[in-house]
Amino acid sequence: MRAFIEKVVIDAGVGRLGQQPNFEEKILPQVMRDIAAVTGQQPQLRKAKESIAGFKVREGAIVGLRVTLRREKAVDFFERLITIVLPRVRDFGGLEHSAIDQGGTLNVGVRDHLVFPEISPEKSPVSFSIGVSIVPKVRNRVKSVEKFAEFGVPMKKDAPVAKKKRK
């Protein structure tokens, strides 16, 4: 499996949380602790590159966190995601085949980070979503679908494997 996975990227957006009072003193450290507990390493702060008035975002404001896992940490996280986390997601019936893009990357969104067993709901007053991208070394969608199925990624049965080209 290690020869197949290049990296795993975990993203968490804190856009709406950033508008709450005492965000940087109370909420941000808790979100960082939760991400570090899930991934095993400290997240990077991602700041807004420009101001967007419609979203009430200022340039330089913290809008997200990101962690990139490689080698053994990436494989360990991938195995925990497939065997422990996804079965804990409520009403989970498998991933759509559209979750794998043309480059072979598997993109999974988890609406509530509390499905990770490392997080205690009593100790984490903040709830946020996490996006996970599993980037394979093979940049081919069909081969990636086959490999992910081989590794036990739960996919829905009725969706086609190959994606049709748009006109």
CATH number for the domain spanning 44: value is 3.30.1440.10
Does residue 156 belong to any structural domain of this protein?
Answer: no
Digit-coded pLDDT (tens) for 94-142: 777 777 788 778 888 888 777 787 877 777 777 778 888 888 888 888 8
What is the C-alpha to C-alpha distance for residues 146 and 123, in angstroms, rounded to an integer? 39
Confidence at residue 163, expressed as pLDDT on a 0 to 100 scale:
53
The whole-chain average pLDDT of the chain stands at 78
Task: Give the residue from 49, 53, 35, 44 showing the smallest Cα distance to 126.
Answer: 35
Does residue 157 belong to any structural domain of this protein?
Answer: no
What is the C-alpha to C-alpha distance for residues 77 and 8, in angstroms, rounded to an integer? 8
Residue 160 has pLDDT above 80, yes or no: no
What is the C-alpha to C-alpha distance for residues 42 and 33, in angstroms, rounded to an integer? 8
Q: With a threshold of 0.85, does the pTM exceed it?
A: no
Residue 9 has pLDDT above 70, yes or no: yes
Boundaries of domain holding 53: 5-150
DSSP annotation of 149 = H
Task: Give the residue from 155, 137, 125 showing the smallest Cα distance to 23.
Answer: 125
Greater pLDDT, 124 or 73: 73
